[in-house]
Chain A
Amino acid sequence: MGEFDLMTGLYVFVLAALAGREVITKVPPTLHTPLMSGANAISGIAIVGAIVVAAKAEGALQVTLGVIAIAMATINVIGGFMVTDRMLAMFKKR
Chain B
Amino acid sequence: MDTIIQLTYLLSAILFVVGLKRLQSPATARKGNSLAALAMLLAVIATVLDTQILDWTWILVGVVLGGVIGGTAARLVEMTAMPELVGIFNAFGGGASALVAIAEFLATPGVGASTTGVTILLGTLIGSVTFTGSFIAFAKLQGLITGNPITFPLQNIFNALLFLAAISLGAMTLGVFGSGDPQTLFYVFCGLALILGVLLVIPIGGADMPVVVSLLNSYSGLAASAAGFVIGNTVLIISGALVGASGLILTQLMCKGMNRSLANVAFGGFGGTAGVDRSEIGQRPVQSADAEGVAAELGYVNSVVVVPGYGLAVAQSQHELRKVGDLLEERGVDVKYAIHPVAGRMPGHMNVLLAEADVSYDKLYDLDEINDDFGNTDVVLVVGANDVVNPAARDPQSVITGMPILDVDRARRVIVMKRSLSPGFAGIDNDLFYMDKTLMFFGDAKESMAELVREVRELA
Contacts and interface: CB of A to CB of B under 8 A. Distances in A.
Given A42-B16, A46-B227, A31 B351 contact: yes
B360 A94 contact: yes
Interface in B58-103: 58-59, 61-63, 65-67, 69-71, 73-75, 77, 79, 82, 85-86, 89-90, 92-97, 99-100, 102-103
Interface in B319-378: 339, 341, 346-349, 351-352, 355-356, 358, 360-362, 364, 366
Interface residues of B, number: 113
B339 A49 contact: no
B234 A9 contact: yes
Interface string A34-53: 11111111111111111111
B291 interface: no
Contact of A55 (B26, B54, B237): B54
Contacts of A67: 58-59, 61-62
Nearest to B218: A39
A52 B96 contact: no
Contacts of B43: 45, 48
Contacts of A40: 86, 89-90, 93, 217, 220, 243
A94 B359 CA distance: 8
A12 B228 CA distance: 11
B259 interface: no
A61 B106 contact: yes
Q: Which of the four size classes fits the interface of chain A? A: 35 or more
Nearest to B70: A79
Contacts of A57: 103, 107
Contacts of A53: 99-100, 103-104, 107, 231
Given A31-B29, A82-B75, A51 B48 contact: yes
Contact of B220 (A26, A43, A69): A43
B241 interface: yes
Contact of B245 (A2, A21, A37, A50): A21
A53 B50 CA distance: 12
Contacts of B341: 29
B169 interface: no
B96 A13 contact: no
B86 A82 contact: no
A17 B348 contact: no
B348 A30 contact: yes
B66 A72 contact: yes
Contacts of A9: 228-229, 232, 234, 237
Interface string B218-242: 0011011101111111111111111
Given A49-B224, A58-B107, A69-B96, 14 more contacts: A17-B242, A24-B23, A25-B249, A26-B24, A29-B347, A38-B33, A44-B40, A51-B59, A52-B47, A53-B100, A72-B96, A81-B33, A83-B82, A91-B29
Interface of B: 2, 6, 13, 16-17, 19-21, 23-27, 29-30, 32-34, 36-37, 40, 43-44, 47-48, 50-54, 58-59, 61-63, 65-67, 69-71, 73-75, 77, 79, 82, 85-86, 89-90, 92-97, 99-100, 102-104, 106-107, 115, 213-214, 217, 220-221, 223-225, 227-247, 249-250, 253, 339, 341, 346-349, 351-352, 355-356, 358, 360-362, 364, 366
Interface of A: 1-2, 4, 6, 9, 12-14, 16-21, 23-58, 61-63, 65-94
16 contacts: A20-B246, A30-B339, A32-B351, A33-B82, A35-B348, A36-B250, A41-B89, A44-B89, A48-B44, A54-B59, A74-B62, A74-B67, A76-B70, A84-B33, A87-B356, A91-B26
